[in-house]
Amino acid sequence: MTHNGTSKPPSIKGLFAASFIGTSIEWYDYFIFGTAAALVFPRLFFPDASPEAATLASLSAFAAGFLVRPLGAAVIGHFGDRIGRKSMLVLTLILTGGSTFLIGTLPTYAAIGIGAPLLLVSLRLVQSFGVSGEWGGALLISTENAAPHRRAVYGSFAQFGVPIGVLTSNLAFLAVAGMDDEAFFSYGWRIPFLLSAALVIVGFVVRLRLSETPEFAKAKKERTISKVPFAELLRRHPRNLILGGLAAIAPPAVGYAVTVYMLTYGTQVAGFERNTLLTMILTSTSVWILAIIASAVLSDRYGAKRLYIVGAITAVVWPVPMFALVNTGEIVPALIAFLVAAVVQGIMAGAQGGLFSEMFDLKVRYSGISIAYAAGGTVAGAVTPAFPALYAAFGSSTPVAVFLTVLGAVSLVAVSGIKYTAAAREPVKKVGAPAVAPEV
């Protein structure tokens, strides 16, 4: 890819840092809320409810953030297609990191009553609005600097942020989870949220050094930017927008089942200690990262759509065995359940960058991939409270597992119907052909 103008082309390390570090920070922010929603918020922000109702209310606060994600994706995607990728990446970092830090300063229900959960939900909405445009920008800053046969690998830079966010958020809580209950629920839980301020400063410095992607810079110079990207998106790519949103449901659905719901289910039903569950989830992230790498490499070789279909099939098959293994109450079977779930997520995540970057034309690409990704995440996240509700209604994990299987089947059918645009048809390298080096 040729870079126009006098600005220095970004290095691979620079692209990786801008995409991976920023995304990791934002998902760290996002997942510490999910962890706290399972371990902390029921007790501190919903203390008047029964344990089951408090957990449901807390997970509902977590799920509330997903309701604004499509709106955030549309707004940030609009300006990303109008102004540029770089400026939106800086904005999303500020919104997400700032709201996360403020959550760590909130008074609890014991201090101000109903105002505490209301403030918690409000900051959750701001956090979600910011993160909704993060992934699209981080993906494009990498893939629009990549050669055609390396888009999935470059797109995986942004995908690493999710498992790293899970890893660092769990490490942060694991570091304070050893405190006695009085210290942990008094101030210990706040530490992971307050650390966000330092992380945001690092990401902010890295992203300010970015230059705009060559494709977008060229379009802006030639004045071919869309005036109303969202309207053009709906007019030209309605099929891929809908199918992309449905295809994006399965990865976060599996992810939230493991990283959020299992923290409650595993302690209250399966009988695991809090630290044991956090350690097992933390361990599974290394497999998650390796699966992303392998899937991205194979996607550039055989096609991102094919790999995503394989991942969606595993999302259909694995939920029932996963819960059966966790229900044993034994560490080794439960660890196997989480490790395989990490592979399931990794296969789809590794292919997703290459898949989504080829679904929409340049004029509406930021809007298209952001809205589709956010829509899938919204469905997956908004149904998180259904997990404890289903268990409470039936007294069994089987309905929860079947529900996850259905979500996986929806994504499988949807991804099978996705078609690439004529201007951005996925180039699949023939097996055995030499690799094309990214021209950066």
pLDDT of 315 reads 97
Q: Where are the alpha helices (DSSP H) in 83-228?
A: 85-103, 109-112, 115-131, 134-143, 151-159, 161-177, 181-183, 190-194, 196-208, 214-221
Q: What's the mean pLDDT in 43-50?
A: 88
The 10s digit of each residue's pLDDT in 157-199 is 888 888 888 788 878 888 887 788 889 999 999 999 998 888 7
Structural domain count of the chain: 1
Query: What is the model's pTM?
Result: 0.82
For residue 217, is it within any domain? no
For residue 373, is it within any domain? yes
For residue 123, which amino acid is it?
L
Contact, 46 vs 59, CB < 8 A?
no
CA 29 to chain centre: 11
The 10s digit of each residue's pLDDT in 193-233 is 998 888 788 878 877 777 778 888 888 888 888 889 999 99
For residue 434, is it within any domain? no
What is the CB-side half-sphere exposure of residue 263 using CA atoms within 13 A? 31
For residue 213, is it within any domain? no
Domain span including residue 182: 12-208+226-424
For residue 330, is it within any domain? yes
For residue 87, is it within any domain? yes
The 10s digit of each residue's pLDDT in 285-339 is 889 999 999 999 999 999 999 999 999 999 999 999 999 999 999 999 999 999 9
CATH number at residue 271: 1.20.1250.20
Tokens of 97: 């990191």
Nearest alpha-carbon partner for 296 in 146, 182, 406:
146
For residue 436, is it within any domain? no
Contact, 416 vs 232, CB < 8 A?
no
For residue 123, is it within any domain? yes
The 10s digit of each residue's pLDDT in 64-106 is 888 888 999 999 999 999 998 888 988 888 898 899 999 999 9
